[in-house]
Amino acid sequence: FICLSAIPANAQQTAVSLGKTYQFITPVSEGYPDNAAYKLTNGVYAAPVTTGETAYYYKSDEYVGLNQSAVDENGNFVIILDLDSIMDDLMGFEISYLNETSIGIYAPSSVTFYVSDTRNGVYTPIGTKTIDEPTTAGISQSLKTRVTADGPVSGQYIMIEIEHKGTFEDEQGNPKTAGWVFLDEISVFGVDGGNGNETQAETNDLTNDITENAPPVTGDDFSVVAYSIIALASVIMIIGIFIKRKASHLK
């Protein structure tokens, strides 16, 4: 579900997806596999590999290759990321991809993120980002695209739908089909690490509310308290003396 509580605009965001597992719902190419090493959440981005006088990104072992033949009926590649437990205050959702047109690798058309508390449950859309990178020959770019939630999001499973570019026109106006999408990282960012789980988040919120609403303690406050105690003690002593005298008169 999507939380409606506000968070500070300058709140620190931490990657909570590092080292987490995921599943490809649409298959990965055997030529550019993941090798069950979970490359997409290891926090390592691809660097170009030089061959002769030319440097190519696609030769980096950090990339996982998704071929056009593997898209689902909607033209998407689909991945489900497991954060291990329900995380609160999730805000940023990002993919890192390659646009190396001379090799037939093109940026996707868009990416959409969804969230759910359970693996096979209902997934709530977080947002979609349209990607419009150049398709002219000779381009070699490693790029990132991020979706930022309208408010803090809670969930354990993140579904990523990556829309394949499909067919487009080249510089001469001829139809051309994008062959590949290459990914090297998927990242999910939470405020202060996502706060672990709902129970812990509620506890933290309560503690923060108490701390924020309590008046600051200063040296002047201690003086006021001390004088108040002395005054109260004096009143009690006076009342005690009055009662004692009244009792002696009644004898």
Predicted local confidence at residue 39, as pLDDT? 97
Tokens of 167: 């067919």
Q: How far apart are CA 190 and CA 200, in angstroms?
A: 14
How do the residues of the chain divide into helix, strand and coil, expressed in percent and rounded to 5? 25, 40, 35
The model carries a pTM of 0.74
Tokens of 123: 């997934």
Tokens 């030319």 sit on residue: 54
Q: For the segment 164-206, what is each residue's pLDDT rounded down to a tens digit?
A: 999 999 999 999 999 999 999 999 999 976 665 433 333 344 3
Predicted local confidence at residue 101, as pLDDT? 97
Q: How far apart are CA 207 and CA 133, in angstroms?
A: 46
Q: How far apart are CA 26 and CA 71, in angstroms?
A: 6
Residue 119 has pLDDT above 60, yes or no: yes
Q: How far apart are CA 157 and CA 173, in angstroms?
A: 42
Residue 142 has pLDDT above 70, yes or no: yes
Q: For the segment 146-175, what is each residue's pLDDT rounded down to a tens digit?
A: 999 999 999 999 999 999 999 999 999 999
Q: For the segment 41-99, what is each residue's pLDDT rounded down to a tens digit?
A: 999 999 999 988 899 999 999 999 999 999 999 999 999 999 999 999 999 999 999 99
Q: How far apart are CA 64 and CA 159, in angstroms?
A: 17
